[in-house]
Amino acid sequence: MSLKNNKNVLFLAMLFLFMLFGEAIAQTALTKVHVGITNKMDFNVTIHCKSKDDDLGIHVLSSGQSYGWGFRVNLWETTLFFCGFTTKKGGGVYNIYQARRDKTRCHGGTCLWDVKDAVCMAT
């Protein structure tokens, strides 16, 4: 009788773990993120975004133009996109999406950035 009860407890514990794990997988693997970058300066900015696996190419945004793309965050939350920004006033390279840093910041799966004076401001 007590052995049978132990088995039930073990089964319940495994079921519980499975449900927790399954939920964690669903939350991370299925998270689709959209990143948008808007040029808020009155001159062009050239942007070149990459991840470890993807090169999104070179895009020129004139004043007021936006550029964006979507992707899924990987299971290990190591997804990282970084962009090089070049303007007539200078530029730099910024981490635009970093899964562990940004997963709670980007509400609704959308991360918007404004480019202002070659500095990216999260909005």
Residues forming contacts to ligand NAG in the complex (CB under 6 A) are: 44, 60, 62
Query: Measured from the CB atom, is 44 or 51 closer to ligand NAG?
Result: 44
Name the DSSP class of 107.
G
**b/e per residue 84-119 (b: at least 16 CB within 10 A):** ebbbeeebeebebbebeebbeebeeeebebbbeebe
Shortest distance in whole angstroms from residue 62 CB to ligand NAG: 5
Shortest distance in whole angstroms from residue 56 CB to ligand NAG: 16
Q: How far apart are CA 58 and CA 117, in angstroms?
A: 19
Query: Measured from the CB atom, is 31 or 44 closer to ligand NAG?
Result: 44
Query: Measured from the CB atom, is 27 or 62 closer to ligand NAG?
Result: 62
Complete edge-to-edge strand list for the sheet that includes strand 119-122: 66-72, 32-39, 110-116, 119-122
Query: Measured from the CB atom, is 36 or 109 closer to ligand NAG?
Result: 36
Shortest distance in whole angstroms from residue 105 CB to ligand NAG: 30
Residue in this structure with the two tokens 């480019």, named with its chain if needed: 115
Shortest distance in whole angstroms from residue 81 CB to ligand NAG: 22
